[in-house]
Amino acid sequence: MRWINVALAAVPASQTPSAGAGQTDDVALLIERQRLFGNPSRIQGRLSPDGQWLSWIAPVNDVLNLWVAPVDHPDSARALTREDTRPIRSYFWSPDSQQLLYVNDQGGDENFRLYGVNVESGEQRTLTPQEGVRVQVLGVSRHIKDRIMVGINDRDPRWHDVYQLNLDSGELSLVLQNDGYGGFLVDEDLNIRLAEQPRADGGEDFFRVNDLTVEAEPFASISFEDSANTGPAGFTRDGRTMYWIDSRGRDTAALTAQDWDSGESRVIAESPKADITGVMADRDNHEIQAFAVDYLRTEWTAIDPDIGAALAFLDGELKGDVNVTSRTDDDRRWIVVNDPVTAPAETWLFDRDTRTLTSLFVGRPELEGAPLAGMTPLELTSRDGLTLVSYLTLPHGSEADGFTAPRDPLPMVLLVHGGPWARDSYGSNGYHKWLANRGYAVLSVNYRGSTGFGKSFTAAGDGEWGTSMHDDLIDAVDWAIDQGIADPKRVAIMGGSYGGYATLAGLTMTPEVFACGVDIVGPSNLTTLLESIPPYWEAGRQQMYRRMADPNTEEGREWLKARSPLTHTDRIQRPLLIGQGANDPRVKQAESDQIVDAMREKSIPVTYVLFPDEGHGFARPVNNIAFNAVTEAFLAEALGGRFEPIGDALQSSSITVPHGAEYAHGLSDALSS
C-alpha cells in the first residue's frame, strides 16, 4: 500500500493581507511550500537496457540520490549514491546495464563531472576528475557495451576534445583534438561522422569526418536564419541514413532523412504550426517509429503500427499527457509518466506483451488530493499579428466560465520563461500551481524569439530585447485585463534568466504597468553579460551577437546600453525582489550587484537575496523553498494574495540578504530568529 501524507494548512485571516483578494467562498486550502518544492518522493524512473533493474532518484538524508531495485521486486530498493550536499538531477544507464552514470557540479558552477556507480557492488568512481572542466556526453550506443564518447575542455576551455571512456577501467583515451568545432555527431558504432563549425555570420557548417580526418568542404551548411531550428538527429544503425530536424526551405522544422552517400533528402513529417520536437526510434535499426509536435500541447504521431497501437492503448488507459521515458533493449517494457496536471505525475511500468500497466510510484504523493489548479492553453495575438501560444492557470473557486473567465478580476503574476531561446509548454508547473493556490491568476507567454514555433517566430525576436519581445508581454497583460482576468492595479512580473531580464525591463521600461517584480538570476547590463559568457559558449557567440547586438560595433554598444535595465534604474517605481546564485557562470553575480548598487545610490527600495552555494537557479530544495517563502510574502504585500508565513523556512538554507531585508514583509524577523 502506498504511503500518502497530505498536509494542507488553512490560512488564518492575518495571513490574507487583502481579504477576498481574488477569492470566492470556495477558497482552496493553502498548500504548504514544502509539499510543492521540497524533495520529491521519487522521480526519473528508468529501466536498465537488459530489463533487469529499475532505477530512480529519491532522497537520502534529504539530498536527492540514485536508487536501484530488481524490476520485479521494486520494494527491494537500495540507495547507490551518497551525495550529501548537491542533489543528483539527471542520470542514465550504461549500455551494459552494469552502472548508473550521472553528472554533477560544485555549488552551481556548471563545471560538470561525470560519475559512475556499479549496480552490484555500489562502487562509485569519478570518471572525469579534472578541476574546473566541463564534461559533455557525446555518444552512447546500445550496441557498444563497454565504452562511451565524451567531450572534455581541459586543454582549451572553449572547445571540447573528444575522448573514448572505457566503462570497465575508467580509462580516457583521446580520439580527436578539437580546434574550433562546436560539436560532433557520433553514430551507433561510436564513430565520429560529422563535425559542426560555427561561422562568422552566425551560421554553421557540417563536415564529414573520415578516419578521424575532417573533410575540407562542408557536407551541409546551415544559415543563421535556420540555426535555431535545424540540426542533426542521429543515424540509422547501418549508418547510411542521417536524420535531421530541419527548417531549411520551410518555416517550421520538419523531420527529414538524408542519404549519406547521395546527399538526397526526404521529408518524413512536418507541421505547419510547430517544429518537430521529439522522436521514437526502433531499438535495433534506429529507424524513426514516431514523432512529436508541441504546439498547444505535445502530440505524438506513430509511423510504426505497433508503436501506434501501444501509444493508443496508453492514451486510452491513462488520464492526462503520457510520456515514454525509458525502453528496454528488447522493447518489451517501457517506463511511462502520466501527467494529469490536476494531480501529481505518476510513473508506470508498461508491459507491451501483456498490455498491462503497473503503477510504480507517484512523484509527490503528499500532493494527492490537494487542490491543484489546471492549466489552459491559449492563442493570443500580438499588436502586429503574431500568434502567442500561452498558458493560463486560475485559482480554485475563481472560474465562472470555463477555465479562462474568473468571476471577478484577479491579482495576476506574469511568469516569463528564460532563454529567451526556449519555450513554455503545457503540463505540471510547480510555480503555476503554487501561485494559483495563493490566489493569483498565472499567465505564461511564448513571446517572439521563443523556439518551437518556426524560424520566423524565433527571428522576430532578433534585436528586440526590451522592445517587441517586451511588447508581446504587455499585449498579454492587456488581453488579461480586457478579458476581466487581471486587475490592472495588481499585476506582477516574475521570471528567471531572460525572465529575470524581462522583469527588470518591465519595471524600468514600462514602470507603471506592474505592481512589483521578482527577478531571478536576470541580467541587468547586457554589455557585461556578453563580456562574461562562459568560454565554452564560444561556438554560439556570433549567434548571440546577431540575435542581440554586436558589442564590437558602436551601433551594437549603443543598442546594448539602451536595452539594459541598469541604464534606466531611475525609472523604477515599484517594489523589486532579486534572487541570485553567487556561482552563476551564465548571469554572474555582478549583474544583480550592479542594479542593486544603482538603486541603493538613488535610494530606491530593493530586496536582494543571495545564495553562496547556488548558480543559475536554485538546485537545493532548502534554498528554493527559502527564496519562495520570501517571494510569496513579497507578492502578498504588493498584490494582496495569500501567503504561508516565512516562519523557519530560511533556517536550513544558505540564504544571505546583502540589502533590503526591511522591504520584504517578515524577512528581517525571519533572518534574526
In our burial notation (b when 16+ CB lie closer than 10 A, e otherwise), range 613-631 reads: bbbbbbbbbbbbbbbbbbb
Of 501, 495, 497, nearest to 518 by C-alpha is 495
DSSP assignment of 330-360: TSSEEEEEEE-SSS--EEEEEETTTTEEEEE
**Is 497 an annotated catalytic residue?**
yes
Look at strands 516-520 and 576-581 and give their pairing: parallel
Of 59, 112, 53, 105, nearest to 81 by C-alpha is 59
Nine cell digits for residue 151: 567531450
CA dist., res. 607 & res. 638, Å (int): 13
- From 497, 524, 592, 654, the catalytic residue: 497
Nine cell digits for residue 47: 529501466
Given its phi and psi angles, is residue 617 left (phi above 0), alpha (psi -120 to 50 degrees) or beta? left
SS3 314: helix
Look at strands 276-281 and 288-294 and give their pairing: antiparallel
CA dist., res. 546 & res. 621, Å (int): 37
CA dist., res. 59 & res. 668, Å (int): 31
Amino acid letter, 54? L
Of 122, 109, 138, nearest to 68 by C-alpha is 122
Residue carrying the nine cell digits 531571478: 520
- From 584, 613, 653, 659, the catalytic residue: 584
**Is 584 an annotated catalytic residue?**
yes
DSSP assignment of 7-22: -EEPPPGGG-SSTTTT
CA dist., res. 165 & res. 565, Å (int): 46
Amino acid letter, 270? E
CA dist., res. 45 & res. 348, Å (int): 9
CA dist., res. 247 & res. 229, Å (int): 6
Beta bridge partners of 60: 63
CA dist., res. 80 & res. 3, Å (int): 23
Cα-based angle 228, 163, 123 (whole degrees, multiple of 5): 110
104's CB contacts (< 8 A; 6+ apart) are 83, 86, 88, 89, 112, 113, 115
Longest distance between any two alpha carbons in the chain, whole Å: 73
Task: Judge whether 45 and 326 are in contact, CB under 8 Å.
Answer: yes
User: Dihedrals φ, ψ of 89, to 5°?
Assistant: -115, -10
- Sheet of 43-47: strand order equals 43-47, 53-60, 63-70, 78-79
Amino acid letter, 582? A
151's CB contacts (< 8 A; 6+ apart) are 135, 136, 137, 138, 160, 161, 162, 163, 178, 184
SS3 377: strand
- From 432, 616, 659, 665, the catalytic residue: 616
CA dist., res. 666 & res. 645, Å (int): 8
Q: Which active-site residues does the annotation give?
A: 497, 584, 616
